[in-house]
């Protein structure tokens, strides 16, 4: 009871901030073709599709660059793969060879025609840069140009997820071979593409000033049928979420596409002056526990801690309107519900027993991402519960550079626990969740928790695409307590009421962004 009281009290204390009520002013739709959005803090990486591997900056890369295929925009939870720069394709029976028939009449923003040569050049550039998304083409053994508009990609091993690799918002994007050649420098054109672009998308990058702002302009030569309502996308950088919310409520911003504090969501949902959207996504809440620290080196300790937390209550308190308890080891919809099915266990007695086995006042460090109000609130609530049981629990923020850098390289000196109430796999395919969160070389396995059994099962499932094998991998990861999923998270966005097409412009696999050329004025 004492722990529950502390949780309730702390929840009230950390949610008492403003935002999103009926007193928000009504803005007028722009007449100048400018859509004013914004970033909460700088995206943190250049808007280069072979480097960018985070969240907010997808608003740039997915509107400026295009791949061969994509997930269909809209609210479908099925995430159907549909044509983009490839109009059709064939896949060999063993998933090792993919032939694409390319769209004709497409040009890059520099005027270079899009042909099969660009496919090979873009694959090679991604391998050369060797950034986070490079694994998606690491199995490419050969690229054969059949003619200008037909290309065959042969893999070194069967890969049932390869189309999902290509459809991912972090998947292979086509870059102008002319730019890659003329602007190569000594870094494969990374310097140039940090402030310019080489894509085929409906918008081109016209401004990229770190910590200041970014701008996109509609590309006059775009191959698509849509005539964009908004010819300019203005995205200034804000350092405080409260300032961003104030700009939205005054009408100076036209939408917030994410990072909206839980404390403000109810006000926005009930607002007469703004429109709030809860949109399906593959985002998950993940609880990282550090097996490289003595406290949680044993999987039974990790299990007692994870299952001793009342996740259902925490989710209700901290991710209101955008989260629900997970019902499986993977994101919602990644596998059939009857295959990936797991209810969250709540066993406070086991947690009490584990804490009682430790020396009095044992310290536990709980980390979360700096700037994430949801993660901060959840971390403090967990710390309060553990303090009530007698642990010396502290919560502290960490910068993105630490999380992606020193955590994985030196996990013994990383926090005991890292709380992430909103993160996501690279794509809809179950492998792309399991690999990034559970494999030793996974890009989101921050605290280096892995199991040879899990990796072996994932490798087999990748070859065959068998859902049951993926389910076995998920169950094995849960038993080993490697980064278990505790929530399924939706995108929560707020926009001026005149902004039309938000739901149709949403991509289930790409948080924090919309297809800007699909938006209009009601």
User: What DSSP element (H or E) covers 468?
Assistant: helix 467-480
Burial of 99 (0-12, 13-18, 19+ CB in 10 A): middle
pLDDT at residue 78 in the model: 73
DSSP codes of every residue in 179-247? HHHHT-TTTTTHHHHTTS----SSEEEEEEETTTEEEEEE-TT--SS---S-SEEEEEEES-HHHHHHH
Closest C-alpha to 166, from 105, 98, 233: 98
The side-by-side arrangement of strands in the sheet containing 97-102 is: 86-91, 97-102, 150-155, 140-147
Give 185-233 pLDDT, tens digit per residue: 999 999 999 999 999 999 999 999 999 999 999 999 999 988 999 999 9
pLDDT at residue 14 in the model: 36
In whole angstroms, give the CA distance from residue 200 to residue 111.
9
In whole angstroms, give the CA distance from residue 75 to residue 506.
7
CB contact at 8 A, 292 and 448: yes
Burial of 25 (0-12, 13-18, 19+ CB in 10 A): exposed
pLDDT at residue 76 in the model: 67
User: What DSSP element (H or E) covers 100?
Assistant: strand 97-102
DSSP codes of every residue in 288-324? EE-TTSGGG-SHHHHHHHHHTS-HHHHHHHHSTTTEE
In whole angstroms, give the CA distance from residue 333 to residue 331.
6
CB contact at 8 A, 190 and 129: yes
- For residue 391, what is the DSSP state? -
DSSP codes of every residue in 41-89? S--SS-S-TTT--SSTTHHHHHHH---SEEEPSSS-TT--EEESSEEEE
Distance of CA 352 to the CA centre of its chain: 34
CB contact at 8 A, 85 and 167: no
Give 429-452 pLDDT, tens digit per residue: 999 999 999 999 998 999 999 999
At 266, list the tokens.
Answer: 């109810």
Closest C-alpha to 465, from 170, 89, 165: 165
CB contact at 8 A, 159 and 121: no
CB contact at 8 A, 438 and 450: yes
pLDDT at residue 428 in the model: 79
Distance of CA 22 to the CA centre of its chain: 31
In whole angstroms, give the CA distance from residue 126 to residue 118.
12
Domains of the chain: 2-15+280-490 (3.10.105.10), 34-240+496-521 (3.40.190.10)
Burial readout 56-91 (b: 16 or more C-beta within 10 A, e: otherwise): bbbbbbbbbbbbbbbbbbbeeeebebebbbbeebee
CB contact at 8 A, 79 and 160: no
293 φ, ψ to 5°? -110, 140
At 120, list the tokens.
Answer: 């090979």
Closest C-alpha to 382, from 94, 2, 1, 6: 6
In whole angstroms, give the CA distance from residue 471 to residue 329.
8
At 357, list the tokens.
Answer: 């086995």
pLDDT tens, residue order, the chain (522 aa):
333 333 333 333 333 344 554 454 568 999 999 999 999 989 989 999 999 998 899 999 999 999 999 999 886 667 899 999 999 999 999 999 999 999 999 999 999 999 999 999 999 999 999 998 999 999 999 999 999 999 999 999 999 999 999 999 999 999 999 999 999 999 999 999 999 999 999 999 999 999 999 999 999 999 998 899 999 999 999 999 999 999 999 999 999 998 898 889 999 999 999 999 999 999 999 999 999 999 999 999 999 999 999 999 999 999 988 999 999 999 998 999 999 999 999 999 999 999 999 999 999 999 999 878 889 999 999 999 999 999 999 999 998 889 988 999 999 999 999 999 999 989 879 999 999 999 999 989 999 999 999 999 999 999 999 999 999 999 999 999 999 999 999 999 999 999 999 999 999 889 999 999 999 999
């Amino acid at each position: 009871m004492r722990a529950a009281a502390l949780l309730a009290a702390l929840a009230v204390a950390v949610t008492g901030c403003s935002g999103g009520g009926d007193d928000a002013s009504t803005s007028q739709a722009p007449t100048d073709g400018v859509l004013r959005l914004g970033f909460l803090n700088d995206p943190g990486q250049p808007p280069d599709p072979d480097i960018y591997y985070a969240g907010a900056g997808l608003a740039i890369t997915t509107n400026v660059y295009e791949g061969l295929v994509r997930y269909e925009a809209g609210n479908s939870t099925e995430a159907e793969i549909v044509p983009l720069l490839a109009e059709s394709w064939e896949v060999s029976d063993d998933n090792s060879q993919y032939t694409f028939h390319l769209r004709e009449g497409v040009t890059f923003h520099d005027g270079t025609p899009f042909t099969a040569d660009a496919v090979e050049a873009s694959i090679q550039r991604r391998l050369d840069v060797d950034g986070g998304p490079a694994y998606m083409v690491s199995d490419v053994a050969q690229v054969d140009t059949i003619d200008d508009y037909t290309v065959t990609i042969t893999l070194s091993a069967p890969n049932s997820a390869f189309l999902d690799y290509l459809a991912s918002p972090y998947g292979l994007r086509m870059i102008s071979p002319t730019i890659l050649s003329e602007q190569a420098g000594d870094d494969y054109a990374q310097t140039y593409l940090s402030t310019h672009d080489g894509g085929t998308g409906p918008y081109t990058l016209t401004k990229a000033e770190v910590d200041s702002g970014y701008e996109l302009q509609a590309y006059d030569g775009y191959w698509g049928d849509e005539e964009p309502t908004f010819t300019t996308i203005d995205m200034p950088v804000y350092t405080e979420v409260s300032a961003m919310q104030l700009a939205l409520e005054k009408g100076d911003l036209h939408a917030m596409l994410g990072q909206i504090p839980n404390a403000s969501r109810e006000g926005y949902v009930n607002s007469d002056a703004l429109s709030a959207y809860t949109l399906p996504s593959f985002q998950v809440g993940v609880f990282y526990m550090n097996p490289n620290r003595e406290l949680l080196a044993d999987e039974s300790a990790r299990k007692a801690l994870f299952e001793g937390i009342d996740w259902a209550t925490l989710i209700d308190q901290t991710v209101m309107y955008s989260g629900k308890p997970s019902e499986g080891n993977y994101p919602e919809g990644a596998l059939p519900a009857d295959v990936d099915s797991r209810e969250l266990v709540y066993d406070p007695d086991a947690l009490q027993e584990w804490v009682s086995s430790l020396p009095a006042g044992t310290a536990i460090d709980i980390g979360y991402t700096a700037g994430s109000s949801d993660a901060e609130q959840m971390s403090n609530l967990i710390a309060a519960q553990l303090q009530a049981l007698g642990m010396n629990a502290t919560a502290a923020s960490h910068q993105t550079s630490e999380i992606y850098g020193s955590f994985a390289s030196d996990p013994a000196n990383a926090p005991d626990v890292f709380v992430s109430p909103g993160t996501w796999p690279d794509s809809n395919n179950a492998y792309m969740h399991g690999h990034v969160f559970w494999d030793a070389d996974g890009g989101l396995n921050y605290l280096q928790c892995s199991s040879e059994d899990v990796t072996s099962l994932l490798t087999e499932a990748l070859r065959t695409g068998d859902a049951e094998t993926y389910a076995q991998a998920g169950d094995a990861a849960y038993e080993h307590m490697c980064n278990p999923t505790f929530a399924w998270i939706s995108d929560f966005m707020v926009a001026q009421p005149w902004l039309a097409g938000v739901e149709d412009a949403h991509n289930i696999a790409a948080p924090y962004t919309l297809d800007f050329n699909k938006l209009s004025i009601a």
